[in-house]
Amino acid sequence: MTLRAPITAALLAASVLAPAAAIAQPRLVAATPAANAAVARTASVTLNFSERLAPGQSSATLVMTGMPGMANHPDMKMPGVTTSVSKDGKALLLTSAKPIPTGTYRVDYVVVGADRQRIAGKHSFSIR
Ligand SMILES: [Cu+2]
pLDDT in tens, the chain (128 residues): 555 555 555 555 555 555 545 567 999 999 999 999 999 999 999 999 999 999 899 999 999 999 999 999 999 999 999 999 999 999 999 999 999 999 999 999 999 999 999 999 999 999 99
Q: 112 C-alpha to center of ligand 1: Å?
A: 30
The pLDDT of residue 24:
79
The pLDDT of residue 100:
98
Which domains are delineated in the chain?
24-127 (2.60.40.1220)
The pLDDT of residue 10:
55
Question: For residues 96 and 61, is the Cβ–Cβ distance under 8 A?
Answer: no
Q: 76 C-alpha to center of ligand 1: Å?
A: 7
Angle at 91 between CA 90 and CA 97, to 5 degrees: 155
